[in-house]
Amino acid sequence: MQNRADLHSHTTASDGTCEPKENVRLAKEAGLAAIAITDHDIVAGIPEAIEAGKALGIEVVPGVEISSSAHGQDIHVLGYYIPYDDEAFRQTLSGLRETRHERNKMIIAKLQELGLDITLEAVYARKQEPDKNIGRPHIAEELMRKGYVRTMEEAFDKYLGKGGLAYANPERITPEQAIRLIKSAGGVAVLAHPGLYGDDELVGDLIVHGLDGIEVWHPDNDREAVIRYRQLAEDNGLIMTGGSDFHGWRGEEPYHAMLGSSTTSTEAVEQLKNIARQRQRA
Each residue of 29-75: pLDDT tens digit?
999 999 999 999 999 999 999 999 999 999 999 999 999 999 889 99
User: What's the confidence (pLDDT) of residue 179?
Assistant: 98
Rounded Cα distance, 254 and 77, in Å? 23
Beta bridge partners of 79: 64, 189
DSSP 74: E
In terms of phi and psi (left: phi > 0; alpha: psi -120 to 50; beta: otherwise), the region of 187 is beta
User: What's the confidence (pLDDT) of residue 4?
Assistant: 98
User: Euclidean distance between the first and final Cα of the chain, in Å?
Assistant: 35
Q: What is the mean pLDDT of residues 191-203?
A: 96
Helix (H, G, I), strand (E, B) or coil at 122: helix
- Domain 4-281 in CATH 3.20.20.140: yes
Whether pLDDT at 263 is above 70: yes
Which H or E run includes 242?
strand 239-242
What does the buried/exposed string (b/e) look like for 39-70 if buried means 16 or more CB atoms within 10 Å of the residue's CB?
bbbbbbbbebbbebbeeeebbbbbbbbbbbbb
State pLDDT tens for residues 15-27.
899 999 999 999 9
